[in-house]
Structure 1
Amino acid sequence: LHEAMQGIRHDLQGTLDRLENEIAQIEQALVRGSRIVATTLTRTYTSRLLDDQRFDTVIIDEASMALAPALFCTLALATSRVIIVGDFLQLAPIASAKTQATKHWLARSIYDIAQITSGRDPRVVPLSMQYRMHPDIANVSRRLYARAGLSYVSAPSTLTDRSQTAEAAPAPGHSLIFCNTEPAHPVTVRDAKGSPFNLYHALLAVRLAQQALSTPGHLPTVSIICPYRAQVNLIERL
């Protein structure tokens, strides 16, 4: 019986190996025959699918957060042109180690390495129209970006498409609301792990969300975003 089981296992393994090889060949054929291939940075240097592939143009999205070594490996796939899409004013890649080599190679964005610090750099092609946010919200970052030589305007649709949400509670007619809690003297404490939380702010955030969701005739979506895990846990319990 043991020998029979071993034989079955051997046959199944052989079948599995053959099928995996056939799948790999099909994947290789699909990649070779495709004019556009989308993948992650990690796959470009860990997947055998791209070992022998070269592309006329390589486009890197969200480049500001890409680790430089991974980005350089990906750029090596290009034969004629590289387009790097990102924001040189965003945070640099996250690297936990504190060594000098880490700071030099892993904690710097491609923009820092290329010494791009302004939208006036001739290598930069800025986008001048935003389609995501209500103009009142976009104006906050627009003023900051103007200092770096970048300017943009909001598409007309951002005003018309977002107007219904802007008319919802808790402050109808306003798209950007700042709540000053200083007069209430809210107290921040820490949990056993040292993560801070504030009960007053948690209750306020939940109440504001309830008001937004209670607006008649409108079903908005609400996201409560917190910088600390303890605050997230508290709000989830509320």
Structure 2
Amino acid sequence: MEKYLKETTMLDYSNEKIQKLIKERKWNELDEFECIRDIYNFVRDEILFGYNIDDSLPASKVLADGFGQCNTKGTLFMALLRACNIPCRIHGFMIDKKLQKGAMTGIVYKNAPQKVFHSWVEVYHENQWYELEGYILDIMYLRKLQNKNKKCTGTFCGYGVAIKDFQNPTIDFNRNNTYIQSEGITQDFGIYDSPDDLLQVHHQEMSAVKAFMYKHLGRHLMNRNVKKIRNL
């Protein structure tokens, strides 16, 4: 299990602000289940859903941003878990861009790659690995999105969601897997020890021009769309 506890460039849990957060929240004083659950809830609800500048950000930068998406929130989640001596690993995928429709609109959606890089975190607890993806959307954003689409009681795909039961998603951790985008998966890259290792092999593929436009325009428009939903 040692490799699932290792600090890396991206999982920089020795960072002063990460250590300060852990001390303030007293996560190291909790039993393992409560620690996992509390860190999970923190990453889900206090690190808001939003789009960072790059998937390769270290955990400390994601914490400083205060927002993130599947890959970046996962990096922070893993760093906090490992800092509390809880083994975890990362599972990489591609998802269909249609689940981002609504967050992505207009020319941003039109020019986005059809396949979007995605990942979730797997946590080892009580001799079992749990697949955790439900931390991606903060609860405030999700509740507003559900309220906006009250008539949808089954499958929903869009605004960062791809699940079969939109009104009752499995997003709370209680010794169970959690999912929020899993129905959009189109390709499975398998399991890696760390996000650093995963990104060395797989990453978001797009031209230099599109990457520049995403960093300097696209993600800001996407974050604006997300905020509009959250502020309904």
Q: Tell me the TM-score range normalised by the shorter chain.
A: under 0.3
Instruction: Tell me which of the two structures has the higher relative contact order, counting C-alpha pairs closer than 8 angstroms and 6 or more residues apart.
Output: 2
Which structure is higher in strand share?
2
Q: TM-score, normalization: structure 1?
A: 0.23
- Bigger Rg, which one: 1
Q: TM-score, normalization: structure 2?
A: 0.23
